[in-house]
Structure 1
Amino acid sequence: MNVVRLALDNINKYGEYVFLKFNGREYTNIELERFSNRLGHGLQQRGLQKDERVLVFLHNMPEVIISYYAILRAGALVVPVNPQLGAQELAYIIDHSEAAMIICSARLSATVRQAQELAAVESLVIVVGEDSEGDFIPIGECYVEDDELLMVDRPGDAGAAIIYTSGTTGIPKGVILSHLNLYMEGHSDIQVMGLIGSDGSRLIDKINLLVVLPLTHVYGLCTMAVAYLTGGTIFLLPGFNIEQILESIQTNEITVFGGIPVMYAALAAYPAAEDYNVSSVVRWLCGAVPLSSEVRHSFEKRYQAIILEGYGLTETVAGFSLQRHDRLIKPGSVGQPIVCAEIRVADDEGRPLPPGHIGEFSIKGSNVMKGYYKNDAETARIIRDGWLYTGDIGYMDEDGDIFLIERKNDLIKCAGLTIFPSEVEEVLCSHPDIDKAAVLGIPDEKGSKQVGAFIVLKKGAKTSPASIQDYCRESLAEYKIPHYIEFCDDLPKNELGRILRKELKQKVNN
C-alpha cells in the first residue's frame, strides 16, 4: 500500500483536469503526477532510502504537494515543518528525526543554515528558488527525466509522515502517521463533509477547495487526499489575506473553505465583506481550537452561512468529529464522530461513562496514529488497549454529539476541588473591559493551586485586579475567583491560535 495511489486513482477516475491553481498558474493532475514521479527518482539518485526522513520546510506553494508525493513514492517519510519555526526549533527536529534531506524555499535558507550549525545530524539540502549562497542543491537539478512509475510498496501500517506537535505544553513530539491512517482519513472526510455519497457520486457539482492554512500542517495532507478522492481542485493561497480570500471565493466559485476561529473572526469584522459574492461556498469548515459563539453568530449573520465545526488532534490525523451539514447544530457541540473513528468517554480508571457524564475522550479506529517517534513510553501512556486517550475532557449526549470542556492537563485542583479554566475565562471575557483572558493554576505555599489569570484589556480600557475579582464573585464560587491577576498586551499563541500555556507558566515561575 502507498497513499500516493490516491493520485493514480484520481487520474484513472477523472482523467486530466486542473488539480491546482496558484499565483495565476494552473497545474493538472497529470502534470503534478509527472513532477512528483521525476522528483522521486531524483531523490533516490541523490541517495534517499526507504524509511528515511525528509523535512519539507516550505510556505504554501506547489512544491509542497510535489515534494510530499515524491518522498512517499520513494518509500521515505515526509516530515512537514511549520515555516514559522526558528533555527533552534528546526535543529531539534533535524536531529530528532535524523533527517536525510531537507527541502526548503530560498526565503527560508538562512534559517536552515543556522539550524545546520546547531544540529548534530548532517542533511542534504534542496532549495526551491534562487539561493543567494549557492551551496544548496536547486530543486530543478533533482528532477530526473524518467517517467517509469516509481511506487515503493509499503505495508498499510508503515509510516508515511512524522508531524511534530506544536509543543503548547512541552517539547514537540513526532507523531507517526501511517499510509493507512492518511488513506482512511481522506475517505472518512469526504463522507462526513457531505462531498461524496455512499455510492461514490458527488453531492456537490464542483469541489473547489480554497486552501489558506499551511500545507505543512496535518490539514494539508488531508486536503490533498480530499481533492484526489473527489476530483476536486485546490486553489492555494500563500497565506491569510482577507481580500485575497474573498476575491478567490468570488472569482473561482469556491465551494469548500477550511479555516480557524481567528480567520472567521477577521472575516466577520471585514468592513467590505458585502462587496463580494461568497454564495458559492456550501461548506465553511472550522477547527484547531474551539469556535466562540460570538464569532460564529457574527460570521453567520454577516455572510448568511453556516459554519461546520470539527475537532481533532494531530494524533488522529486532524479531525475525529465534525458537525454535519444535514443535522441540527447544537450550541457548544463539535459534531459527531467521523466514519472511521469510535469515540467513548471514560473515567480516570478507563471505565466507559454513559451519555451526559463528564470524562476523558478516547478514540479507536484507523485514524489513530502509529505512535510517537522514538518515544515508546509516551506512546504506551497515551494508547492503551487500542484506545488513544486524548487528554480532552467533556461528554457525549444521547445523540452522539460531542461537547468539549477542557484539556485534562489544564484542570486546576484547589483544596480537593476541580476548577475548569474555561468556566473562569468565560466569565472574565464577559467583563466590559476585558478583551482576552487565559486562566491556569498557580502553585501556592500549601502545595495546592490557586486560580491565576492573564488578561488583555480592550483598547483604552482601565480596571484593577480587585474590580475584576468583585465582578467574578457575581458569577463564580469563591474558590474559582482569580487569586493572581496579571495584565498583558497579548496572549502567546501558536500559528493555529492555541494559547501557549507553557509560556504563561514559565512567566509565573520566573
Structure 2
Amino acid sequence: MNYCNWLFDTKDKDLEREIIIDWETGKRLTFKGLQTEVVRLANFLKSKGYVPGTVIATHLYNGIEAAVAFLAAEYIGCVVCLVDPLFKADEVPYYVEDSGAKCLITHLEKDEIAGKLPSEVDVINVREVQEVCESDEFEKSLEIYDFEENELALLLYTSGSTSTPKGVMLTTGCCHTFLRKNHQSMYRYDPDDRILCFVPFSHGFGSISVLIPALAYKAGIVFQKTFHPAKVAEAVIKENITHMLGVPTHYRQLLRYEPFINNLGKLKAAFCSAAPISCEVARQWYEKTGIYLDEGYGMSEATTLITTRMSRLPSTSGDVGHPPEGIISVDIVDDNDRVVENGTIGEIRVTGQGLMLGYLNRPKETAERLRNGYLYTGDLGYKNPDGSLVVCGRKTEFINVAGLKISPVEVETALNSHSDVIDSAVVGVTDEVYGEVVKAFVIKKQDSNLTERELIKYVSDKVANFKVPKYVVFVDEFPRNNVGKVDKKALKNM
C-alpha cells in the first residue's frame, strides 16, 4: 500500500496530461514528468541511507518541489513530516527535533538553519532538489515500498493553540480512506478538471485533500504560493480552473474583488473548510456566481474530512452536512459521554475509518483524544432533525457568562448580518462580576461610520442579552494562522 501507486498506475493515455502547474515559476509537469522526478528524488534520498521509517521533514512553499518531495519520501517508505514554510529558522527546529527527522528539505539556505539543528540532521535546500530532478544521474528503476495498512507514513502538526504543537500520526491507509470519503462526499474529478490550490500544502487541506484525489482521478493542480484575489482571478481564466478550495476569509475577499465576480461562475465548484462560513457569505456567493459554496468539517486527526454539505445553502452558520455513510459516523455527547438528542449542543465525537494512530510521543494527549474507538474532537455542535451536523466552535472558545455557555459562531452570525460589517470574531474576556463577557472584534466597510454603540444595539435585537457583546473593537484585519483561521488566542491577548 502506497499512495504513489496512484501516480504510477497512470495509463498510457493519461501520461501526457498535466498534473501540476507551478503558478510562480511557470513550470509544468505531466504525469510522466512527475513520475520521472519522483523516482529521481527517491533514488537520491535512498542513496543517502534513508530507509523505511526514517522521518524526512519538508519545509517548502506550494509548488512542484513540495509535491515531489512528499511523494519521493513515501515512495521509499519514509515518514513525511510537513512543516509550515512560513516558519522562520528559529521555529523549524522544534518540528525537526519533536518528529525525530533525520533530514530537512527546506527553502531556507543551509547556513540559515543548519547551525540551529542537531549536527546529524541533513539539510537539503530546494535548489538541490531541483538539480536532482533535472539530472538523469538518479534515473534508475526502484521498487515502490509497500506500507502495512497501519504503518506510520505521515506527520501533520496541529496548530498548538492550547499547547505546543503535536504530531498527528497518519498511515497510508488513512489516505486511501480519504479518497473513499472524497469519492462519496466531495468531488469525483474528471481528467480535464483543474484544481486551484492556494491553501498550504504543508497542511492536510493541500497535501491530502487536493493532491491525493488529483492523482487518483488524473486531474490537474495549479499551485499558488499565496492567496491573492487578483492572482486567483487570473489563474481561473488562464488555466481554466474548475474547482477551488479555500477557507472563509478567502471567499469573503473574493466577493469583495468586483473585477473577478463575473468569472466565478466559470467554476464547477468551490469548497470551504477550516472554519464555519456565515450564511450571508454562502448566500452572496450563490447569488453572484450561480454555484453553491460547498462546505466541509474535518481535522487532521481524522485525515481531514468528517462531514460535507454539498449543493445547497446552509440552514444556519456552521451547518456542515453529513458524514460519508459507512465510513465515518458522528455523535454528539455530553460531559458523561452520553449521546444527546438532536438540537442539543455537546462535544462532537467521531468513529470509523481513517482516524489517526495518535499523537507522536504523547500518550497522555492521545488517551484524552482517542477513547474506546472514538475520536473526541474538542469541538461543540449539534445535529439537525435530518442528522446533519452544525458546528458551534471549539470547547475552549465557548464563552461562559455567569454559567451560561455562548457559542461564538452564533454571536458572529448576528454581527455579520449588519450591512456595514465585513467580518467579525468573538472571544470571551475576564470579568469580575460575570466571570466572562463577550468581546467582539469587527472589520467594517471602509467608508462606514458604524459605531460601537450602534452595533451593540443592533445585535441586542437579534440575540439574548447575555450574548450581546459588552465591547466592540474595530480592526483592519485579524491575526490568522497559516490556513487562514482567525487566531482567537492572539485576539484575546490584544
TM over 0.5, yes or no?
Answer: yes
1:220 corresponds to which of 190, 206, 214: 206
**Mapping of 1:332-347 within 5 angstroms?**
332=317, 333-339=319-325, 340-347=327-334
TM alignment of 1:359-508, pairs within 5 A:
359-430=346-417, 435-445=422-432, 448-459=435-446, 469-483=456-470, 486-507=473-494
Deviation per CA, 1:362-406: give whole Å up to 9, x if none: 111222111111111111101111111111211122322111112
Question: Deviations for 1:323-344, whole angstroms, at most 9, x for unmatched residues?
Answer: 234x675443212113532111
Q: Please list the CA deviations of residues 176-233 of structure 1 after superposition, one character each: whole Å capped at 9, or x if unmatched.
A: 111100111023213322417xxxxxxx573322222222221222211101211212
Counterpart among 91, 94, 100 of residue 92 in structure 1: 94
Shift of residue 469 of structure 1? 4.8
Match of residue 277, structure 2, among 273, 285, 291: 291
Corresponding residue for 2:305?
319
Matched, 1:261 2:254: no
- Change in Cα spacing, 1:244 to 1:438, as seen in structure 2 (3 Å) is closer
- 8 Å CA contact 1:36–1:69 kept in 2: the answer is yes
Q: Does 1:252 align with 2:239?
A: yes
AA at the equivalent of 1:322: T
Structure-2 residue corresponding to 1:133: none
1:191 paired with 2:188, answer no
> Which residue of the partner structure matches residue 230 of structure 1?
217
CA 1:53/1:297 → structure 2, altered by over 3 Å: closer, same or farther? same
45-54 vs 8-17, which moves further: 8-17
Aligned to 1:6: 6
Asked whether the equivalents of residues 193 and 283 of structure 1 are also in contact (C-alpha less than 8 Å), the reply is: no
Q: Following the alignment from structure 1 to structure 2, what is the Cα–Cα distance between the partners of residues 469 and 267?
A: 28
CA contact (8 A) 1:54 1:102 kept: yes
> In structure 1, how many angstroms separate the alpha carbons of the residues matched to 2:216 and 2:191?
14
Aligned ranges for residues 66-145 of structure 1 at < 5 Å? 66-105=68-107, 108-109=108-109, 113-120=111-118, 122-129=120-127, 139-141=130-132, 144-145=137-138
Q: Could you tell me how far apart the structure 2 residues matched to 1:253 and 1:459 are?
A: 33
- Contact kept, 8 Å, 1:435 with 1:458, in 2: the verdict is yes
Aligned residue identity for 1:36: V
1:97 CA displacement: 1.3
Q: Which residue of 2 aligns with 1:179?
A: 172
Residues 414 and 37 (structure 1), Cα distance of their counterparts in 2 relative to 1, 3 Å cut: same
Structure 2: stretches of 5+ with no match in the other structure: none
Q: What is the 5 A alignment of 1:46-85? A: 46-85=48-87
Q: What SS does the corresponding residue of 1:272 show, helix, strand or coil? A: helix
Task: Quote the offset at 1:73 in angstroms.
Answer: 1.5
- SS of aligned partner of 1:262: helix
Compare 333-342 and 8-17 and name the one that shifted more.
Answer: 8-17
**CA shift at 1:89, angstroms?**
2.3
2:297 aligned counterpart, secondary structure: strand
Aligned to 2:18: 18
**Matched residue count:** 487
Q: 1:30 matched to which residue of 2?
A: 32
Give yes or no for contact 1:169–1:501 (8 Å, CA) kept in 2: no
Cα distance, 1:435 vs structure 2: 4.7
Answer whether contact 1:56 1:78 (CA < 8 A) is retained. Answer: yes
RMSD: 2.8
SS of structure 1 residue aligned to 2:164 = coil
Q: Which residue type is aligned with residue 179 of structure 2? A: G
CA distance in 2, matches of 1:468, 1:475: 11
Distance 2:295 2:412 in 1: 21
Point out the more displaced range, 235-244 or 348-357: 235-244
Could you tell me which amino acid in structure 2 is paired with residue 215 of structure 1? F
Alpha carbons of 1:15 and 1:488: their partners in 2 closer, same or farther (altered >3 Å)?
Answer: closer
CA distance in 2, matches of 1:254, 1:418: 43
Moved more, 304-313 or 288-297: 288-297
CA contact (8 A) 2:200 2:482 kept: no
Gaps of 5+ in 1: 130-136, 197-203
For the 8 Å contact 1:289–1:496, the answer to whether it is kept is: no
Question: Offset at 1:121?
Answer: 6.3
Residue 306 of structure 1 deviates from its aligned partner by 1.6
> Which residue of 145, 149, 158 corresponds with 1:156?
149
SS at match of 2:379: strand
Q: Which letter maps to 1:347?
A: D
Q: Is the 8 A contact 2:191 2:217 kept in 1?
A: no
Q: Deviations over 1:408-432 (max 9, x none)?
A: 1111223222122223333344556
C-alpha displacement of 1:360: 1.3
SS of residue paired to 2:39: helix
Q: In the alignment, what sits opposite 1:201? A: none
> What is the identity percentage for the equivalent residue pairs of Structure 1 and Structure 2?
29
Which AA in structure 2 matches 1:230? Y
TM-score normalised by length of structure 2: 0.89
Change (3 A) 1:138 1:430: closer
Query: C-alpha deviations, 1:234-265, integer Å up to 9, x for none?
Result: 22233323333333333333222212222222
Task: Name the structure 1 match of 2:292.
Answer: 306
- Displacement, 1:170? 3.4
> CA distance change for structure 1 residues 435 and 357 in 2, over 3 Å: closer, same or farther?
same
**SS in structure 1 of the partner of residue 350 of structure 2:** strand
Contact 1:187–1:229 (Cα < 8 Å) also in 2:
no
TM-score by length of 1: 0.87
The residue that corresponds to 2:140 in the other structure is 147
Moved more, 177-186 or 235-244: 235-244
Which stretch of structure 1 is more off in the superposition, 20-29 or 460-469? 460-469
* Distance in 2, Cα, partners of 1:347 & 1:304: 40
Which digits, 9 at most, give the CA deviation of each residue in 1:295-323, with x for residues without a partner?
Answer: 22222222222211111111122221112
| Distance in structure 1 (CA, Å) of the matches to 2:469 and 2:14 | 59
8 Å contact from structure 1 (residues 346, 352) kept in 2: yes
Aligned to 2:229: 242
Q: Deviations over 1:443-497 (max 9, x none)?
A: 3446933333344454365676666555544444443343455554432111322
Is contact 2:292–2:313 with CA below 8 Å preserved after alignment? Answer: no
Asked if 2 retains the 8 angstrom alpha-carbon contact of 1:359 and 1:393, the reply is: yes
